[in-house]
Amino acid sequence: MSETRAARRERLLERVKRLPEGPGVYLFLDVGGQVAYVGKARNLRARVRSYFNASGDGRRAVRFVSRYVHDIDFVSTESETAAFLLENKLVKRHKPPYNVKLRDDKDFLYVRVDRSHPFPALALARRPKKKAAADVSFHGPFANAGALRRTLRMLGGIIPLRDCTDREFAGRTRPCLKYEMERCCAPCVGFVDEEEYAGLVAEAVGVLTGDCESAVARLEEQMTAAAGDLRYEAAARHRDAIRYLRATTAHQQVENIGVEEADVVGLRRAGELVEVAVLAFRRGALVSTAHHTLESELPDGELLSGFLLEFYGDARPVPREVLLPSEVPDAEGLADFLGDSRGTKVRLAVPRRGPREKLLQLARRNAKDALVVAVEQRGHQRRLLEALADRLALPRVPETIECYDISNTGRTAVVASRVVFRHGEPDRSRYRHYRMKTVEGQDDYASMKEVLTRRFKRADADPLPDLLVVDGGKGHLAVAMEVAEETGHADLPLASLAKGARRGRALTLDEGEEERVFRPGREEPLVLAGRSPEEYLLQRLRDEAHRFAIGHHRKARSKESLRSRLDDVPGVGPVLKKRLLQAFGGTRGLARATVEQVAGIQGVSPALARDILDHLERTGE
């Protein structure tokens, strides 16, 4: 007999009574024994007990525990800071479904300047290195990658820095076309010295961080000189550049309140849908605004703590100060953790009055506006999914849909893909690839059976979707029904989607052709000949599964085809193999080299050189 929620609650409370009162990490386990949530605490017993407290915002925590938590585990640590470090590691290892996930984290860009080069270019970086060299600096973050790239292109016409690679720079003997277009000062041929170029770099970095006065002053001098020489077109270009710089930095300016370096966090919630806005201030100017849409039943303080740990936990620079909309549990431990990451003390504050509180209001307003958009989008998706449920006669609205596709266009490396759509949008954190373990050769039905069998056997640890779709026709649906019956999941809604015409690499519908959806219990398929939103959603789901499977299949074939005979030579690893192939242009050129020439490569001894050449001769290059 299954355990009731009341009985489980009593059992968990008994477990809580035995928890230690010191710092550590607690793990909530689901019905399958998998980690569902990881948290840290200064006092483990008090923190975990708070999840059972029905007062205030704790009601969300009560729902969370009663629905998903079936057991509790813990790890004691020596300090709060150690607890934060351990939580960070455990979240990365277990990827628990109810911890904060920032799916759009990749959108942040930084501008990297490597001053070890006498004439550095402005480069883009996704993840600034914590232990970068002293002469390498990162500027940002910039939330909108497209806007940053457009700004850099515009900046190239105002501040003539080079944008070529170091290799191109070293090989130039005369200026390139960009010098003629006045988009580069040609440092490659000595048209500008290091000191003057460093001044241009400082101007460009200043513009990116909200200070354009140095660049404007230089342009004003050039404009005046051009007008004095009667070069009115050049003077007009300088005038337009000045206006552009003023407009670019004007939107960054917020009332100067003495905040030189801080991130201001705003939060707004609509049930389980949460919007978090982060306003980044650097040098007293607003340099970026980012929004993160989350789904969580956790209390605001717990959610914010997890958000900050994830937000700053992967090489993102930590500011001196973080302004928060509410208190977070174990704030001192979190501040110490962030301070260790930064290298200096970090202040966490919840402003109640004054100018900093005004900035917090601005962040809250940004979060509120973004939440309105998110709620409207969620409502639109809900109506779309309701229409899909009605069209396919599903027993419930398919909030989560999985789609499976087999890719076996070659004789080897048969693979399958799983893509997941949640609320009508891709949830890429749950995508999976499968390599066949029991099927040899090309057998779509056997491959699909193996993949679905492996999937259904993990239903306790990885909950099944509201709708499972397989790419194929009636036969593929029959396989899915057979596996569902054998594994005890016969009530899971299933469908198969037959492909339309193939045009190049994409799957499309040509005029007059039809795609069909097969459902259990229906003799005739549902024909998708129209262009309704729910039909488009199914096609998008299927195409995404196909794309994901094909991409993995190509990687698998490429890995096999790119295998070098040098892989079989003892003592030749990936780095040395790459070095040899680059030096001799491939294994053919390497086989024609002498022992002395091969031994001249860094890391190759004369004995190893002879082994390499003997091996290539035996294998017949």
Assess contact for 43 and 20: CB atoms under 8 A.
Answer: no
Q: How far apart are CA 460 and CA 449, in angstroms?
A: 19
What pLDDT sits at residue 63?
A: 65
**Averaged pLDDT for residues 116-138:** 79
User: pLDDT at position 105, please?
Assistant: 46
Q: How many CB atoms lie within 10 A of CB 419?
A: 26
**Taking 70 as the threshold, does the pLDDT of residue 553 lie above it?**
no
Residue type, 485: E
Q: Residue 621: what pLDDT?
A: 46
**275 to each of 278, 372, 375, how far by Cα in Å?**
10, 9, 10
Q: Residue 337's closest CA among 359, 363, 306?
A: 306
- At 454, the pLDDT band (50, 70, 90 cuts) reads very high
Q: What is the pLDDT of residue 265?
A: 94
Q: What is the pLDDT of residue 485?
A: 93
- Average pLDDT estimate for 283-300: 79
User: Would you give the distance in Å from CA 359 to the centre of its chain?
Assistant: 28
- The first and second tokens of residue 354, run together, are 């004054």
Mean pLDDT value of segment 142-160: 76
Q: Pull the structure tokens for residue 454.
A: 């492996």
Model confidence at 259, pLDDT cuts 50, 70, 90, reads confident
Contact 552, 415 (CB under 8 A): yes
- Condensed to tens digits (0 to 9), the pLDDT of residues 68-80 reads 788 899 988 888 8
In this model, does residue 283 exceed pLDDT 50? Answer: yes
Confidence of residue 511 (pLDDT cuts 50, 70, 90): very low
pLDDT at 258: 64
Q: Is the pLDDT of residue 509 over 70?
A: no
Q: From 439, 438, 414, select the one nearest 557 (Cα to Cα).
A: 414
> Which residues lie closer than 8 Å to 1 by C-beta, 6 or more apart?
none
Query: Hunting for tokens 């277990």 — which residue is that?
Result: 94
Residue 2 DSSP code: P
Residue 467 binned pLDDT confidence (cut-offs 50, 70, 90) = very high
Q: Which residues touch 160 (CB under 8 Å, ≥6 apart)?
A: 182, 183, 184, 185, 200
The yes-or-no verdict on residue 402 having pLDDT over 90 is yes
Question: Measured between alpha carbons, how far is 110 from 141 in angstroms, rounded to an integer?
Answer: 5
pTM, rounded to two decimals: 0.59
> For residue 558, what pLDDT is reported?
47
How far is 142 from 231, CA to CA, in rounded Å? 37
Q: What's the CATH code, domain 264-373?
A: 3.30.420
pLDDT of residue 556: 54
Q: What is the pLDDT of residues 172-207, one digit of tens each?
A: 888 888 888 888 999 999 899 999 899 888 888 877
Q: What is the per-residue pLDDT for 356? A: 87
Average pLDDT of every residue of the chain: 81
pLDDT of residue 249: 59
572 vs 441: which has the higher pLDDT:
572
* Cβ-contact 153, 128 below 8 angstroms: no
Whether 213 has a pLDDT exceeding 80, the answer reads no
Q: Which pLDDT score is estimated for 561?
A: 43
Whether the CB-CB separation of 246 and 212 falls below 8 Å is answered with: yes
Q: Kindly list the domain boundaries of the chain, sorted by start residue.
A: 5-94, 106-250, 264-373, 393-560, 565-618
Q: Indicate if the pLDDT at residue 506 is higher than 60.
A: no
**Is the pLDDT reported for residue 337 higher than 90?**
no
Who has greater pLDDT, 6 or 193?
A: 193
pLDDT > 70? residue 161: yes
First to last CA, the chain: 68
Of 504 and 344, which is predicted with more confidence?
344
The two structure tokens encoding residue 64: 């969370």
Asked if the domains 264-373 and 565-618 are classified in one and the same CATH topology, the answer is no
Query: What homologous superfamily is domain 5-94 in, according to CATH?
Result: GIY-YIG endonuclease (3.40.1440.10)
**CATH match for 565-618 among 3.65.10.10, 1.10.150.20, 3.90.1150.10, 3.90.440.10:** 1.10.150.20
Give the model confidence (pLDDT) of 164-174 as tens digits. 888 788 778 88
Confidence of residue 433 (pLDDT cuts 50, 70, 90): confident
256 band by pLDDT with thresholds 50, 70 and 90: very low
> To which CATH superfamily is domain 393-560 assigned?
UvrC, RNAse H endonuclease domain (3.30.420.340)
Cβ atoms 312, 341 nearer than 8 A: yes
DSSP state of 53: -
Residue 311, pLDDT above cutoff 70: yes
Statement: residue 266 has pLDDT above 90: yes
- CA–CA separation, 267 and 272 (whole Å): 13
Looking at the predicted structure, is the pLDDT value of residue 245 above 80?
Answer: no
- Give the DSSP H/E element, type plus range, for residue 515: strand 515-518
The DSSP symbol for 525 reads P
User: Residue 250 contacts by C-beta under 8 Å, 6 or more apart in sequence?
Assistant: none
pLDDT above 50 (res 501): no
Alpha-carbon torsion, ordered 249, 255, 261, 267, to 10 deg: -100
- In this model, does residue 602 exceed pLDDT 70? yes
Task: Supply the pLDDT for residue 512.
Answer: 42
pLDDT, one tens digit per residue, over 49-68 is: 888 875 544 445 556 677 77
